[in-house]
Amino acid sequence: MVKIAPSILAGDHGNLAAEAAKVEKWGADWIHIDIMDGRFAPNLTFGPGLVKSLRKAVSIPLDCHLMIEEPERYVDKFLEAGADYVTIHAEAVSPEGLATIEGSVKRYGKGLGVAFKPATSLSSLDLSAHDVSLITIMTVNPGFSGQKFMVEVVPKIKEAATVFSRRQVEIEVDGGVDLSNARLVFENGGTVFVAGNSVFGQKVPEIAITELRKAVVTNA
């Protein structure tokens, strides 16, 4: 009913390929990779090299979330490394840059995503003429794992699900998704749950993905 995309940022940075392989074994649908450049978001994380390593470690899709400035300069590198989805930020791209990125993603036969910070409206970037596979609604501000889910963003999840309902677009929710809010996210149209601490930070992470799925259909 939903896709669970564990965020590798919350995993053991000393052995990320093994962490990715574990969550694939535990039933993850995608691996979410947070790419930050220290400019767009106040953190430095990963580059194409990690994506290439994870591509060798798992067969499930790699969801690369580019929280970076000038994403059009780097998209091809992540596609070459093995990204299945490349998600850029509405706040960091011009209409011309978006067209360039869309062309690159199409050449590789992969999926294009567009992410929105909590305070950014969906109308800030016109996507009506673009081939988008994924809309990412951030329910925390970009930067660090472990932040609290911003319930005030939930109406935007519902808005995105409504706006893109006829376009077969995944609605991804990124930030603080856990057992306490998974059902709320799903009921408002979320189809992909980015799960960081709610998977890697659990005492028994092997069952965390199953528990998140259960939370969608039962009261957690």
Tell me the pLDDT tens digit for each residue of 177-206.
Answer: 999 999 999 999 999 999 999 999 998 889
pLDDT of residue 220: 42
Residue 67 main-chain phi, psi, to 5 deg? -95, 70
* Amino acid identity at 217: V
Catalytic residues: 34, 174
Distance from C-alpha of 138 to C-alpha of 147, rounded to nearest angstrom: 11
| pLDDT class of 218 with cuts at 50, 70, 90 | low
Residue with tokens 């706006």, as numbered in its chain: 163
Range of the domain at 48: 3-217
Q: What is the mean pLDDT of residues 144-155?
A: 91
Q: What is the pTM of this model?
A: 0.95
- CATH number, residue 113: 3.20.20.70
**Please, what is the average pLDDT of the chain?**
95
Residue 146's pLDDT is 77
**What total of structural domains would you count in the chain?**
1
Does residue 2 carry a pLDDT above 60?
Answer: yes
Distance CA 112, CA 23 (A): 24
Neighbouring CB atoms inside 10 A of 76's CB total 17
One-letter amino acid for residue 150 of the chain: M
> In the numeric block, which tokens belong to residue 175?
């930030």
